[in-house]
Amino acid sequence: MDKNAFVKYATGREKRSPSLKNSILAFISGGLVCLAGQGLADLYKMAGMAEKSSATLASVTLVFLAGLFTGIGCFDKAAKICGAGLLVPITGFSNAVTSPAIDAKSEGFIMGVGAEMFKIAGPVVVYGNLVAVVYGIIYYISLCIAG
């Protein structure tokens, strides 16, 4: 069988992804994560915190809960159903840090957990900071030129 015949054969046998269903589930689950974050921020605000502090604490709470649910095995099961709705917000970042750390715990805290923790999320942090610095320089130059 040549390459073209194999590609045609494989394409005909592959399972089609239910894109509409996945999109709706991602939209709903992502919205629920955002709703939970807003609810937490409002709850912290009602407890007497400043608006900025309550928003920060809501984000920290979502990161903690996603890490906890990853650790007990619930996050991955929910992500298989909800897809990008759980993986795109801040909860996905928490999962991306927690999962490799859990997998590497048998290698010890330094060479296992510490070394593996940012294997997936590390490039996001590095290049995110790099882009922020470049943007800051461009912004600073534009302020100097303007006035």
Residue 75 or residue 123, greater confidence: 75
| 126 confidence band (pLDDT: 50, 70, 90) | confident
Q: What angle do CA 94, 125, 25 make, to 5 degrees?
A: 40
Domain regions of the chain by residue span: 18-120
> Which pLDDT belongs to residue 74?
93
> Which pLDDT belongs to residue 27?
94
> Which pLDDT belongs to residue 108?
81
Residue 76's alpha-carbon distances to 71, 72, 93, 136, in angstroms, are 10, 10, 13, 36
For 17, counting Cβ atoms within 10 Å of its Cβ (0-12 exposed, 13-18 middle, 19+ buried), the class is exposed
| 116 confidence band (pLDDT: 50, 70, 90) | confident
Residue 120 or residue 26, greater confidence: 26
Could you read off the pLDDT of 33-58 as tens digits, one per residue?
999 999 999 999 999 999 999 999 99
Per 3-state DSSP, the chain is made up of helix, strand and coil in percentages (nearest 5) of 85, 0, 15
